[in-house]
Amino acid sequence: MNGAAQRLRDLVMRGEVIAAPGAHDALDARIIERAGHQAVYLGGNALALGLGKGQPFLTLTETAAITAQVTAAVALPAIVDAGAGFGAPEHVDVAVRELERAGAAALHIDDQPYPKSADYHRGRGALVAVEVMCERLHAAIAARRDDALSVLARTDALRVTGSLEQTIERVVAYAATGIDGIVVLDLSHEQVGQVVAAVAQLPIYWIGGVHPPVPNLHILGTAGFAVALYPFSGVAEITMRLGELWRGLAQSGDIVQNVDGLGRSLKESTSIANLERAWAINDRGDQS
């Protein structure tokens, strides 16, 4: 049994919106946990960027390996991006089992074609037929060993078609497979009420933060979202801050960092690494 999977279900049932900041590795996840959040999101784009490549080229093996590292490092429930299921229904079966074994508390499968096209990241998204997506979802639900694992359907229909009506038609069809939640790409807080009305029994996950402005968490919760996923915000901050730091060194020869912040970071990184536990063991040995 996966205790984190049940905790996530319990959190969603409370009726308060949950923030799940995005992480690309265990260090990110530890920082998110220490910040006081209740869940962590492992988005495919962030995981791939952490490996120095694009999301369409991220493999199941890599996704499962990073998921296992994160769930070993933190107690937070991990919501994992399983992409398009990494193939046909028989591949979805393997993907769900691998990610569940790695400790995922929830995973979402999307209705993009597989293999994924790099063109997606320049606005040329596409959708599989509703029937194909439903086959993926049926396979995912049947594959899980623990019913507490949340299987979510993500649809890109709103971005690809621009039609909320067509998006809702897909959402209703996906809900009928027995999934545990819906993720609708680009769904705004002004639109979510119509989706909630169509599938009132299912929690709706917001996903965004890539393009400003980013809605306030309270606004998202009041509108009807159950969980807010932030796939890119952390990676964006790392990219910007590290870029500035190392460009400065290359151009001037100087490292420009806040001295007080550097001291705090050194102390916090010691705690993130849980070195206090090792020191306590060392101290006991010194006293014997």
Q: What angle do CA 7, 76, 141 make, to 5 degrees?
A: 55
Alpha helices (H) along the chain? 3-13, 26-34, 44-50, 60-73, 89-101, 130-143, 157-161, 164-175, 192-198, 217-223, 233-252, 259-272, 275-287
- What is the rounded distance in angstroms from the CA atom of residue 161 to the CA atom of residue 182? 18
Q: How far apart are CA 168 and CA 219, in angstroms?
A: 22
Separation of alpha carbons 252 and 249, rounded Å:
5
Task: Name the pTM for this structure.
Answer: 0.96
- Each residue's pLDDT tens digit in the chain (288 positions)? 789 999 999 999 998 999 999 999 999 999 999 999 999 999 999 999 999 999 999 999 999 999 999 999 999 999 999 999 999 999 999 999 999 999 999 999 999 999 999 998 898 999 999 999 999 999 999 999 999 999 999 999 999 999 999 999 999 999 999 999 999 999 999 999 999 999 988 999 999 988 889 999 999 999 999 999 999 999 999 999 999 999 999 999 999 998 888 889 988 999 999 999 999 999 988 776
Report how far residue 239's alpha carbon sits from residue 220's, in angstroms, rounded to the nearest whole number: 27
H/E stretch holding 205 reads: strand 204-207
Q: Which domains does the chain have, with CATH numbers?
A: 3-239 (3.20.20.60), 257-288 (no CATH)
Query: Are the CB atoms for 40 and 74 separated by under 8 Å?
Result: yes
Task: Indicate the length of the chain as a whole number.
Answer: 288
